[in-house]
Amino acid sequence: MRENLLNDSSQWPPVNIFDTNHFRQARIEAHNALFWMARGTHSFLDSTPDNGHLSLFWHKASGNFRTRSFDGDLQIGLSFPDLELYFCESGQKVPHSFWLDDRTPAFAEAWYLVELLHRDRDQSKFSTDLPFSSPYMLMGDTEDHNASAYKLELDALNGCVLKANEILGSVSHAVAQQPQFTKCRQWITLEPESFSLVLNVVVDNEAAKLPSIGMCLGDHLRPAPFFFVKVSETQGGAKTHLLDYDPRTLLSLKSIVNETMPDVELVENLVGKFLEANHSK
């Protein structure tokens, strides 16, 4: 039953690209695009636990990720291959996009303010502050973004996101087939802080989230993409560091591709790690 949810024509990018410095730089550029998306929602929405107000959601019609709605009907969307940021009004993309290419972060801030002004929104609410820090965060006017220099790498990153989104959709379906999880709510988000695509699982009558399943596009310790299963802080008690993962739950994309692991086997592997993590919490 799970097989028919997977798109056999969708393949992982060549994994040798993940070992290059160009991919690391492309990931930093893309991560900063997520930071700019998060700045819009953080400026206008009330903060929520685990920074859920910053989560990004897949928009099937555009094939892009978008923010939650803020200030009524506004959203920010992102096209990964060329790092195009754009405003949406009432769900519709509007003109005057901003590309993270040959422009400094200061230009991105100015773009936000101009677009808010054009829509007669309160510019004074906008802030570049975020509720987290990152060594990858670029600000100021001394260094240009350079997306066009990393076209191949951004295409590979986009391919990872699209394929991981399919895999997590199939994992969600498989988890829902488990008797104890049939009434759980599940949704997939892209998280700006960790640059991770995450399947969230919640039991409606319980406050705590169940373990999350996801793909991180790479971090300071592991520069190449990897799948993970992570117990939520509400389950495990103490707050964990962003880079902390149980190594037993990690599955690198390079190992998946090098071992020619079928999609169905990958889904079963992730579901198994989820069940084990939930049982041992």
> pLDDT band for position 204 (50/70/90)?
confident
Kindly report, residue by residue over 233-247, the tens digit of the pLDDT.
654 444 455 567 889
Residues 6+ apart with CB under 8 A from 278: 210, 211
Q: Which of 205, 207, 208, 211 is nearest to 175 (CA)?
A: 211
pLDDT score, position 142: 84
3-class SS of residue 60? coil
pLDDT score, position 236: 47
Residue 100 CA to residue 150 CA, distance in Å, equals 11
Kindly report, residue by residue over 214-230, the tens digit of the pLDDT.
999 999 889 999 999 99
Q: Percentage of residues in the chain with pLDDT exceeding 70?
A: 91
Residue 202 CA to residue 185 CA, distance in Å, equals 5
pLDDT score, position 205: 65
Is the pLDDT at 9 greater than 70, yes or no?
A: no
pLDDT score, position 6: 45
Question: At residue 89, what are phi and psi to the nearest 5 degrees?
Answer: -120, 125
> pLDDT band for position 251 (50/70/90)?
very high
Distance of CA 258 to the CA centre of its chain: 24
pLDDT score, position 5: 43
Residue 281 CA to residue 209 CA, distance in Å, equals 11
Of 204 and 60, the structure prediction assigns the larger pLDDT to 60
Statement: the pTM of the whole predicted model exceeds 0.85:
yes
**What is the DSSP track for 114-178?**
HHHHHTT--GGG-----SS--TT---SSSS--BGGGGHHHHHHHHHHHHHHHHHHHHHHHHHHTS
Q: Which of 196, 194, 134 is nearest to 164 (CA)?
A: 196
pLDDT score, position 182: 87
Q: Is 250 exposed, middle or buried (0-12, 13-18, 19+ CB in 10 A)?
A: middle
Kindly report, residue by residue over 173-200, the tens digit of the pLDDT.
999 999 989 889 999 999 999 999 999 9
Residue 77 CA to residue 83 CA, distance in Å, equals 10
Kindly report, residue by residue over 91-137, the tens digit of the pLDDT.
999 999 999 999 999 999 999 999 999 999 999 999 999 999 999 99
